[in-house]
Amino acid sequence: KPAKRLSTDSTNSHEGATAGEISALEEAFRKFAVHGDTRATGKEMHGKNWSKLCKDCHVIDGKNVTTTDVDIVFSKIKGKSVRTITFDQFKEALQELSKKRFKGKSEEEALQEMYKLIEGKGPVISGVTKTVSSPTVSRLTDTSKFTGSHKERFDASGKGKGRAGREDLVDNSGYVSGYKHAGTYDHKVQGNK
């Protein structure tokens, strides 16, 4: 949000555009920084997520920039005893890689091209296992075909009864189990008086 405020306050249109681009770049940085880590704040990025960003955003082209180059740049930019990079270090790393990725262009042009590759992108989730519906699995999980004690664990709709279906709960009502007229004693006694 501060970046957008800068773009409206500035009189130079080029400076406003740069602030807008940086916010889109920072948004992409944050998306990749929190990917796969529930405790991440989005302010620092691990090497694993840095590599993923470079692969997903096609910074790695296999010719000029390889996964090894990406790892080397990450190691060079981060501090000695830390495992993460900040957004400012991230921009430094991109500047370093842009020289290799876009060799024929000026430093500023190469950096802008690098930003365009990353802006507005997020982590690509691939290789997610899909469940396969086979007749064997559906037969084994069809609760209407269960027998014996297993049948007692599910109601007529197939929904599990929870604890009541797993444990023998004691009926302290005073009636024999299965007695049809349970709860009618008081009515009969009062009807006779």
CATH of the domain at 53: 1.10.238.10
For residue 23, give Cα distances in angstroms to 6, 8, 17, 19, 115: 11, 14, 10, 6, 11
Establish if 126 belongs to a structural domain. Answer: no
> Angle 107-118/13-34 helices, nearest 10 degrees?
50
Q: Is residue 16 in some structural domain? A: no
The pTM of the whole model exceeds 0.85: no
**Which span out of 80-94, 131-145, 154-168 was modeled with the highest average pLDDT?**
80-94
Is a pLDDT exceeding 70 seen at residue 9? Answer: no
CB 49 within 8 A of CB 39: no
**82 part of a folded domain:** yes
- Does the residue 178 lie in any domain? no
Top pLDDT among 34 and 154 is at 34
Count of alpha carbons within 13 angstroms of residue 65, beta-carbon side = 24
pLDDT for the residue numbered 104: 85
* Number of structural domains found in the chain: 1
* 109 domain residue, yes or no: yes
Q: Is residue 125 part of a domain?
A: no
Q: Is residue 10 part of a domain?
A: no
Read off the tokens for 69: 């180059």
46 located within any domain: yes
Residue 73's pLDDT band, with cuts at 50, 70 and 90, is very high
Domain coverage including residue 55: 24-117
